[in-house]
A = this chain, B = another copy of it.
Amino acid sequence: MFEIGEASRQSGVGIETIRYYEREGIVPKPVRATNNRRMFSAHDVGRLRFLKKCRDLGFPLADTKTLLSLTEGDEEDCRSVKELAELHIFNVREKINELKRLEAALNELTANCDSGNVSCPMLSKLRTDQ
């Protein structure tokens, strides 16, 4: 059994974040020692590590919670997992495309922008009222 600092180190989840997950009901409340400190089992730490991986993959916290409950239920509903993951991949792709569009627009805007101009071409493009 580990105190919260050790659980944080082993899982990569910040101390404050662990307490936040507990408050939000993402993870079950850990047992407390007689001094009121939280004590985490190896299984608790494994759960935190799982959460960390999901979050690093960009899953929203709500999805992460769902995935966690799927791992802890008696049957693993692989189809649900796949659906969740594919929707997420779709969203990631959309975001990539949006950012690419953004990048192109920014490149075009700054193309004629050279230091020393009296009037900034980027600003004037942004200002045009149409």
Q: In the assembled complex, which residues on chain B have CB atoms less than 8 Å from the CB atom of A85?
A: 106, 109-110, 113, 122
Query: B106–A96 contact, CB under 8 A?
Result: no
Give A94 Cβ to nearest chain B Cβ, in Å.
Answer: 10
Identify A123's interface contact among B57, B81, B123, CB under 8 A: B81
Per-residue contact bits, chain A 68-102, to B (CB 8 Å; 1 contact, 0 not): 00110000111101100110110011011001101
Copies per complex?
2
13 additional A-B pairs beyond A82-B114, A93-B103, A96-B99, beta carbons within 8 Å, are A50-B126, A57-B105, A57-B106, A67-B123, A70-B123, A76-B117, A76-B119, A76-B123, A78-B120, A79-B116, A82-B110, A85-B113, A85-B122
